[in-house]
A and B are shown apart, each in its own frame.
Chain A
């Protein structure tokens, strides 16, 4: 009885230990695992479904020099309004999404292939998956077509404000290297 009384008398200390453990370790882990924009490449994928962890690990295994990690996250139209994709370097977008968000995308110098998407003569995306043939890169990681979703072409696009796209001082072009890795995945 005395032990229980003592335990309840010190309950606040146990709660403090619990809260401190959560706050301190979450903070330390975020410090250890996160990196500055210049040290990470973020990929947002707008396909209906994907194995984001497996895809991330596959891209991370081939990450460019000087990059701490490559991370893949799902893209939804809603997050554009939240500003979250401002951090993104690469987008995997359907044709309709490219047309919708073209203002946010980096205009590319030239087409790599005939399938690449151009709007008003400006190239915005590299063909990743063709709806016509059903063939596409990284198909073992990304589900491009699902019942209930329109079957569309998918493209690799780049954030015009990314620090990894050779569009300003300090840019390293790492986003293009990751895009090449993405295109080489099965």
Chain B
């Protein structure tokens, strides 16, 4: 029977992640610029008699804007950036072929920069491997060989049942 290799990572995915990062950076920059513009506008309207109302307004807008930018950074940009770096490293890194029986566990770990991974047990092979959590659904546990980069599963091989 033929064997088929299913790739878990692609260059398109990397391009898509980079576009997503650019979009988030743009949204973040626009939010920061708008916040600053509104606060500066309030500042120009402030007098000794209006500052009592305008200063709290400027502070509230500045805090909301600042927190929004920070949240986009923490929950958006950082995560996308880490995912893009991971995908890039996998696409460019040296591949190793490992054969054996693989079991995808529920055990989750977070590697550097916060990319979540599932642990994959390899019976008959020398390694415990990691699988990016977004690739878990794509992984076929019937795989008898996997291609890894730095211990992360980049592709797997299965018997081609079509033939």
Contacts and interface: CB of A to CB of B under 8 A. Distances in A.
Interface of A: 2-3, 6-7, 10, 13-14, 17-18, 20-22, 24-26, 28-29, 32-34, 40, 53, 56-57, 60, 69, 71
A6, A33, A57 — which one has the most chain B CB atoms within 10 A of its CB?
Answer: A33
B75 A32 contact: no
Nearest to B45: A32
Interface of B: 39, 43-44, 46-49, 51, 54-55, 58-59, 62-63, 66-67, 70, 74-75, 114, 116
B59 A22 contact: yes
B55 A26 contact: yes
Given A14-B70, A17-B66, A28 B47 contact: no
Contact of B39 (A18, A20, A25, A34): A25
Contact of B49 (A6, A22, A25, A60): A60
A6 B74 contact: yes
B43 A32 contact: yes
B98 to A, nearest CB: 29
Given A17-B70, A29-B55, A6 B75 contact: yes
Given A10-B70, A17-B66, A25 B48 contact: no
Contact of A18 (B44, B46, B47, B63): B63
Given A13-B70, A33-B48, A28 B63 contact: no
Contacts of A69: 47-49
A40 B47 CA distance: 12
9 contacts: A25-B59, A25-B62, A29-B58, A32-B46, A32-B51, A33-B48, A33-B51, A53-B49, A69-B48
A31 to B, nearest CB: 9
Report, nearest first, the 7 A-B pairs whose CB atoms are least far apart. A17-B66, A21-B62, A21-B63, A33-B51, A29-B55, A25-B58, A69-B48
A182 to B, nearest CB: 17
B25 to A, nearest CB: 18
A29 B74 CA distance: 30
Contacts of B51: 29, 32-33
Nearest to B54: A29
Nearest to A30: B51
Given A24-B62, A26-B55, 9 more contacts: A3-B75, A13-B70, A13-B74, A14-B67, A14-B70, A25-B55, A28-B43, A29-B58, A33-B48
Contacts of B59: 21-22, 25-26
Given A13-B70, A29-B55, A56 B62 contact: no
Contact of A34 (B48, B49, B55, B58): B48
Contacts of A53: 49
B53 to A, nearest CB: 11
Contact of B67 (A17, A56, A71): A17
A73 B25 CA distance: 47
A2, A17, A21 — which one has the most chain B CB atoms within 10 A of its CB?
Answer: A21
A2, A13, A32 — which one has the most chain B CB atoms within 10 A of its CB?
Answer: A32
Contacts of A25: 39, 43, 55, 58-59, 62
A29 B63 contact: no
